[in-house]
Structure 1
Amino acid sequence: MSEVASASSGAKVVLATCCDDKHPFFNVLDNDEGTFMSTTGMYPHELVVQLAKPCAVSKIKMMTTNVRRLVLERGDSLDRFEKVFDIELPDRAGRQQSETHQVNFNAAFVKFTIASGWDQFATVHRLNVTGDA
């Protein structure tokens, strides 16, 4: 098992529905908790990551702030996704949220949708996807 959604592994963001010049979407793949992506207001916001290679995904870990409802989908192509989970995260009053989910699916792409937030803006500090080719 290895990290398949980091820039160093070859993963890349292929779609982002928001972009803040100071906190751009590609920061979610750099494995640096000091950098982050910031949403730009109204929800929902989508982020599609092309994994380093198609693989069997076993774990998703996210570090965020102010995310209320998060939807995770998997896909073999960019034109068709299937929902893996739809969760509501607890309100942490602007403090960092850490979520780890054991999953079992095959994918080439993973779509993260921030459907709603606890505040006007939300941040994603890190996305980790663990998988096996």
Structure 2
Amino acid sequence: MFDLALSEAGAQIILATSSDDKYPPEHMIDGKDETFWATCGLYPQEFVIRFTSLVNINSVSITCYNIRDIKLEVNSDDSQNFKTIEQKEFQSSDSAPQIEDFSFGNVKAQNLRVVIESGYDHFCAVYKITVNGTAVH
């Protein structure tokens, strides 16, 4: 099992609802702890990670800031038909980063969509998303 969401593993951000030249969405998958994606201040916000092939997702970990409600969705092809696999309300962490973990059996996916439905402030940030799993053979 390894991190399927790293850009060096071939993962790509194929959609993000906001982008800033200083804090682009690709920062979430660059493997660095100090970089991040910043949202533009309206909700909902979302991003989609495309994996290099069909994968089995075992767990997802998100390091973020100011997120209140989040939804994780997957699909196994290039359609827009996503299936919700988790919804959660995060606790406010004041000035500390939020680290949230999600565990699954084996969830098959080609794409992972993360929908930030609301936040504790106008802006939120995602520092890192880790997707542990294996390629489907």
TM bin (shorter chain): over 0.9
Is 1:120 aligned to 2:122, yes or no? yes
Q: Deviations over 1:106-129 (max 9, x none)?
A: 000000011000011000000000
Distance 1:101 1:42 in 2: 25
1:16 aligns with 2:16: yes
| 1:50 and 2:82 aligned | no
TM-score, normalization: structure 1? 0.97
Question: Secondary structure at 1:23's aligned position in 2?
Answer: coil
Q: How big is the shift at 1:77?
A: 2.4
- Is 2:86 the partner of 1:85? yes
SS in 1 for 2:76: strand
CA RMSD of aligned residues (A): 0.9
Shift of 1:31: 1.1
Q: Which residue is 1:107 aligned to?
A: 109
CA distance in 2 between partners of 1:116 and 1:94 (Å): 17
Contact in 2 for aligned 1:4/1:53 (Cα 8 Å): no
Instruction: Kindly report structure 1 stretches of 4+ aligned residues shifted beyond 4 Å.
Output: none
- Give the length in aligned residue pairs: 133
Alpha-carbon distance, 1:72 to partner: 0.2
SS at match of 2:83: strand
SS at match of 1:77: coil
Contact 1:5 1:52 in 2 (8 A): no
The residue type equivalent to 2:42 in the other structure is M
Q: CA deviation at 1:130?
A: 0.6
Q: Kindly, what percent of the aligned residue pairs are identical?
A: 29
Q: TM-score, normalised by structure 2?
A: 0.94
**Aligned-partner SS, 2:130:** strand
Give the superposition deviation at 1:81: 0.3
User: In 2, distance between residues paired with 1:96 and 1:26?
Assistant: 19
Match of 2:82, SS state, is strand
AA of the residue aligned to 1:27: H
Amino acid at match of 2:36: F
